[in-house]
């Protein structure tokens, strides 16, 4: 009964005609807030991530996590393309894992990757990532509470996060608060931890993507993974970097773009090596 009621509420929230009518009579705001509160109440024990043939569940206990859960609508095409490339030999690197949406979907997909490695430096997000892994009883994920970048260092991560699911932690734009986090070069971390080489890499690091890619140059050149890349042109500017530099770096490694899409201020790319054996 509850899932049907939830489905009914969701249809009301997303239906443009219903939304327009409710806005005219000043009820949409209250209905939307009530809907969010209802989802959060249900989500404390985990809600199913309805993407293709995945059986993953994710804790949704606050507005941040609700926003991530809602973002499935805008992210679904990219996620589906990602899941379609997974097989039982896949080694997946999830860089900027946040609370784990991509890794959870991959691990609980009809064909699970052989190994999944996650990197998430923000403490609230990392704690929830581990809780979501436990919730789904996943055994093939290894999570690291560090960031990846072009040098081994301790850097200030700017964040106003007070609970899990925040998308604000970053190295590219200052906020009122920062915390020191460990940053490792990707190539060095692969060697240090004796990680299996990646066949798929996903990068979502709020404007730090160029630094992450440069840190993995040797690994990328050797294993030629498929790269699912989210570029934030506005945040890149804070580091004096243009999106063309990010793409040209990969083109210089003989990669080509096989998919691209624009989603608000983010650009999604799938890049594949021209040297990859078929």
Q: What 3-state class would DSSP assign to 48?
A: strand
Within a domain: residue 155?
A: yes
Q: Is residue 65 part of a domain?
A: no
> Starting at the edge strand that comes first in sequence, how are the strands of the sheet with 200-203 ordered?
141-144, 115-119, 91-95, 200-203, 226-231, 266-273, 255-263
Q: Does residue 88 lie within any of the structural domains? A: yes
Total structural domains in the chain?
Answer: 1
Q: Give a yes or no: residue 248 inside a domain.
A: yes
CA nearest to 199, candidates 229, 231, 222, 230? 222
- Residue 116 CA to residue 127 CA, distance in Å, equals 17
Q: Answer yes or no: is 184 within a domain.
A: yes
Q: Is residue 263 part of a domain?
A: yes
Q: pLDDT at position 36, please?
A: 74
Residue 180 lies in a domain: yes
Residue 255 lies in a domain: yes
Structural domain range at position 188: 71-273
Query: Domain of 236: which CATH number?
Result: 3.40.50.150
- The one-digit pLDDT tens for each residue of the chain (278 residues) are 445 656 666 666 667 777 777 777 777 666 667 777 777 777 888 988 888 889 999 999 998 998 888 888 778 899 999 999 999 999 999 999 999 999 999 999 999 999 999 999 999 999 999 999 999 999 999 999 999 999 999 999 999 889 999 988 899 888 889 999 999 999 999 999 999 999 999 999 999 999 999 999 999 999 999 999 999 999 999 999 999 999 999 999 999 999 999 877 789 999 999 997 64
Written as six digits, the tokens of 262 are: 């624009």
Do the beta carbons of residue 17 and residue 71 sit within 8 Å? Answer: no
Q: What confidence score (pLDDT) does residue 13 get?
A: 67
């Amino acid at each position: 009964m509850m899932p049907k009621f939830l489905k009914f509420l969701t249809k009301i929230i997303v239906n443009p005609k219903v939304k327009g009518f409710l806005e005219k009579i000043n009820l949409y705001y209250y209905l939307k807030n009530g809907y969010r509160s209802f989802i959060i109440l249900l989500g404390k024990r985990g809600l199913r991530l309805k993407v293709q043939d995945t059986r993953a569940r994710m804790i949704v206990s606050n507005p941040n996590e609700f926003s991530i859960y809602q973002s499935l609508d805008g992210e679904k095409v990219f996620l589906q393309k990602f899941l379609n490339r997974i097989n039982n030999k896949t080694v997946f690197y999830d860089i900027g894992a946040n609370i784990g949406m991509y890794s959870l979907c991959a691990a609980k997909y009809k064909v699970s990757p052989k190994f999944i490695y996650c990197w998430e430096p923000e403490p609230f997000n990392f704690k929830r990532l581990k809780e979501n892994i436990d919730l789904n009883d996943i055994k093939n994920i290894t999570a690291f509470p560090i960031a990846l970048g072009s040098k081994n260092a301790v850097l200030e991560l700017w964040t106003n996060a007070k609970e899990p699911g925040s998308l604000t932690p970053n190295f590219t734009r200052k906020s009122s608060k920062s915390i020191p986090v460990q940053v490792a070069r990707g190539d060095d971390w692969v060697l240090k931890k004796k990680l299996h080489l990646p066949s798929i890499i996903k990068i979502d690091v709020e404007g730090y993507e160029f630094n992450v890619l440069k840190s993995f140059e040797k690994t990328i050149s050797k294993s030629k993974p498929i790269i699912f890349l989210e570029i934030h042109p506005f945040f890149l500017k804070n580091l004096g970097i243009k999106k063309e530099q990010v793409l040209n770096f990969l083109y210089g490694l003989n990669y080509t773009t096989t998919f691209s899409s624009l989603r608000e201020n983010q650009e999604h790319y799938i890049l594949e090596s021209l040297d990859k054996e078929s």
